[in-house]
Structure 1
Amino acid sequence: MGGLAVLAARMVARAGCKGKAAVALLLVLLAPAAGLAMETRELAVETRQGPLTYFIEVARTPSERSQGLMYREELARDHGMLFDFGQPQHVSFWMKNTPLPLDLLFADAEGVIVRIHAQAEPFSETLIPSGQPVRYVLEIIGGSAAERGIRTGDRLTLGN
Structure 2
Amino acid sequence: MFPAPIRAETLLAQGTQSFEKAPLTIRSQGRDLRFTVELALTPGQMSQGLMYRRALAPDAGMLFLHPQEQELAMWMANTLIPLDMLFIRADGRIHRIQERAVPLSETTISSGGRVKAVLELAGGAAARLGLKPGDVVVFPGLGTP
TM-score range for the pair, normalised by the shorter chain length: 0.7 to 0.9
Q: Which runs of 4+ in 1 moved over 4 A?
A: none
Match runs of 1:1-160 below 5 Å: 7-9=7-9, 12=10, 24-25=13-14, 27-28=15-16, 31=17, 37-158=18-139
Q: What is the alpha-carbon distance in structure 2 between the residues aligned to residue 80 and residue 45 of structure 1?
A: 12
Specify the SS of the correspondent of 2:116.
strand
**Larger proportion of strand:** 2
Query: Displacement of 1:23 after TM fit?
Result: 5.6
The percent of aligned pairs where both chains have the same amino acid is: 43
Specify the SS of the correspondent of 2:112.
coil
Larger Rg belongs to: 1
**Larger proportion of helix:** 1
Aligned length: 135
Question: Which AA in structure 2 matches 1:144?
Answer: A
TM-score, scaled to structure 1: 0.80
Unaligned 5+ segments in structure 1 are 1-5, 13-21, 32-36
TM-score, scaled to structure 2: 0.88
Specify the SS of the correspondent of 1:41.
strand
Over the aligned positions, Cα root-mean-square deviation in angstroms equals 1.5
Note the alpha carbon deviations across 1:18-49, whole angstroms, 9 max, x for none: xxxx9641x31xx5xxxxx2121000001014
Unaligned 5+ segments in structure 2 are 1-5, 141-145
Q: What is the alpha-carbon distance in structure 2 between the residues aligned to residue 66 and residue 133 of structure 1?
A: 19
Q: What is the alpha-carbon distance in structure 1 between the residues aligned to residue 35 and residue 130 of structure 2?
A: 14
